[in-house]
Amino acid sequence: MATYITLIHYTQQGIQNIKDSPARLDAAKKAFQAMGAELKQWFLVMGQYDAVAISEAPDDATVAKLSLAIGALGNLRTETLRAFTEDEYRKIIAALP
Tell me whether residue 4 is exposed, middle or buried, using C-beta atoms within 10 angstroms of its C-beta: 0 to 12, 13 to 18, 19 or more: buried
pLDDT averages per 10-residue partition of the chain, 97 residues: 97 96 97 97 98 98 96 96 97 97
Give me the helices (H) in the chain, please.
12-16, 21-34, 60-71, 86-94
Which residues is 81 bridged to in the sheet? Answer: 5
pLDDT score recorded for residue 33: 98
Nearest alpha carbon to residue 2 among 68, 41, 54: 54
Nearest alpha carbon to residue 50 among 30, 24, 31: 24
2-94 has CATH 1.10.3720.10 classification: no
